[in-house]
């Protein structure tokens, strides 16, 4: 775990994810992670997104023996008419359950400027010997209230990044207060946020992090609003 505190979650709605079971994606991987050469060559026209994810197993989670966050996906907007089975533009897949650690892992992504909506969430839970895999798809997460989408983001939430901008969007993990559910946490306070940035510098020493925008993944379902004081 990071040595600084994380915001405790308050579940906004009783959104039960353990429905619509499917198999875990077998070939998904993080496909936009920043590399030194790519970053130096493209940082002026692309945006850099910072986030943390905790893939660790949660015991006694929301009425289940244990649960794990297994995958996240984000689609660049607008994306009307994208097939349900199409892979997201930004894909995360958790490591093997055999090597899970209950700690946040830092990621830096290099992305095309724009708005990215949450389009998939995969959670694996178990009660007894039988695991249950639940996957929320873009049909559930990325629908906009306006006809045709309009590129505003989805019902699940979204983040945005501009060219040459570096933005921190939060820390993603499971919440277990009711059902196992994705939750966007965040690092509180300027002092703790500066400590957090040292972790990104340690993993990605080539990043320029002197002017990071603190702009959390915007959601009414999977997190609470917060602005850095």
Locate the domains of the chain by residue range. Answer: 36-214
Which residue has better confidence, 154 or 147? 154
Residues 210-226: tens digit of each pLDDT: 999 999 999 999 999 99
CB 90 within 8 A of CB 29: no
State pLDDT tens for residues 180-201: 999 999 999 999 999 999 999 9
Separation of alpha carbons 25 and 68, rounded Å: 15
State how far the alpha carbon of 108 is from the alpha carbons of 31, 127, 155, in Å: 11, 34, 24
How far apart are the C-alpha atoms of 70 and 57, rounded to whole Å? 10
Pick from 19-23, 33-37, 153-157: least confident = 19-23
Residue showing tokens 């994306």:
79
Sign (positive or negative) of CA dihedral 186, 39, 119, 160: positive
- Residues 124-145 pLDDT 10s: 999 988 889 999 999 888 664 4
**Residue 201 and residue 90: Cα distance in Å, rounded?**
22
> What pLDDT score does 151 carry?
41
Q: What is this structure's pTM?
A: 0.84
Placement of tokens 């400590």 in the chain = 195
d(CA 108, CA 202): 12
pLDDT tens per residue, range 68-89: 999 999 999 998 888 878 899 9
């Amino acid at each position: 775990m990071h040595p600084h505190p994380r915001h405790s979650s308050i579940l906004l709605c009783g959104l039960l994810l353990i429905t619509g079971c499917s198999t875990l994606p077998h070939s998904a991987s993080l496909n936009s992670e920043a590399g030194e050469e790519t970053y130096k060559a493209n940082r002026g026209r692309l945006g850099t997104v910072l986030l943390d994810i905790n893939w660790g197993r949660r015991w006694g989670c929301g009425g289940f023996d244990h649960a794990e966050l297994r995958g996240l996906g984000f689609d660049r907007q607008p994306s009307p008419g994208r097939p349900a089975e199409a892979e997201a533009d930004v894909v995360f897949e958790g490591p093997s359950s055999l090597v899970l650690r209950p700690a946040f892992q830092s990621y830096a992504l290099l992305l095309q400027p724009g708005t990215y909506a949450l389009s998939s969430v995969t959670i694996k839970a178990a009660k007894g010997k039988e695991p249950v895999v639940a996957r929320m798809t873009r049909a559930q997460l990325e629908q906009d209230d306006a006809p045709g989408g309009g590129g505003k983001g989805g019902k699940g939430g979204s983040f945005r990044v501009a060219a040459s901008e570096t933005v921190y969007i939060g820390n993603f993990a499971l919440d277990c207060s009711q059902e196992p559910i994705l939750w966007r946490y965040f690092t509180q306070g300027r002092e703790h946020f500066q400590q957090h940035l040292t972790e990104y510098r340690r993993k990605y020493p080539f990043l320029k992090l002197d002017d990071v925008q603190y702009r959390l993944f915007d959601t009414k379902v999977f997190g609470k609003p917060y602005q850095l004081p």
